[in-house]
Amino acid sequence: MHRLITIRASHFCEKARWALDAAGVKYVEESHFPLLNRAFTVPKGGVTTPLLVCPDGKVLKDSNDIVRYADAHLTAPSKLIPQEWEGDIAKWMDKANQIGIHSRRVVYFHLFKYMDSSVYETLSDGVGTLEKVVGWSLLPLIKFAIKKGLRVDERGHNISKEKLDKLLDEVDGQLEGKQYIVGNGFSAADLAVASLLAPIIFPPFYGAHLPDFRESPPQVKALVEQYRARPSGKHCMAMFSQLRKSKL
């Protein structure tokens, strides 16, 4: 059985989960708190999550590699990376990673500033009982590490929001008159962009607990509504509603 080591709320981990689910690859998910997850990834030669341990002992330490591994279990016409579109899909997967970096910083900034009371519930999703106790006692340190390590401050937020908007301008342009980002069907490009934009969209059927958008403060609602209104946001909602739902 495959072991998928995650921070369950992480959108990079959602990307890996979605790909494995789409390919029918069976796995057990082991979720951990940020910072504490390194006790489980470092011994396997990794640092961050997701990290996939395969039955043959092979370890995949990057979400793009996990998507490609999942795709190897699929055949046409269900492949996530069809050969004829491989180059274009790779380009958009890399661009999606940049979307993920900047959406993460923007979301953490709003989460810490306006919804701090929901941080523990979000980060503890799927974590074992003992680690939940440890995570609660170390929560101030974990939050400090996230803010410091990811530069979650006003300046970092402003820089990331500007970069995120420019990246989504590209996605919006690519989607003009189209249902999918590359080619005529759902691919790893759609999966990656939707997954890595998801925390700022609050889509249905996300594979982890997210705070209740309906109960979020006005500042968070305004942010989510701004991004949901974009073609890229509508695409994210559609991919989760139509395609992620069937895999959960």
State the pLDDT at residue 211. Answer: 83
Total structural domains within the chain: 2
Burial class (CB in 10 A: 0-12, 13-18, 19+), 137: exposed
- Does 76 map to a domain? no
- Does 78 map to a domain? no
Question: Is the domain of 42 the same as that of 106?
Answer: no
Question: Is the domain of 65 the same as that of 104?
Answer: no
Question: Is the domain of 67 the same as that of 88?
Answer: no
Question: Is the domain of 48 the same as that of 90?
Answer: no
For residue 22, the domain's CATH number is: 3.40.30.10
- Does 21 map to a domain? yes
Question: Is the domain of 222 the same as that of 178?
Answer: yes
Task: Read off the pLDDT band of 246 (50, 70, 90).
Answer: low
- Lowest average pLDDT, out of 44-48, 56-60, 87-91, 195-199, goes to 44-48
pTM of model > 0.75: yes
State the pLDDT at residue 212. Answer: 80
Domain that holds residue 52: 2-71
Contact 24, 73 (CB under 8 A): yes
Buried b (16+ CB within 10 A) or exposed e, 25-59: bebebbbbbbbbbeebbeebebebbbbbbeeeeee
Q: What is the mean pLDDT of the chain?
A: 95
- Does 233 map to a domain? yes
**What angle in degrees, to the nearest 10, is found between the helix axes of 129-137 and 139-149?**
70
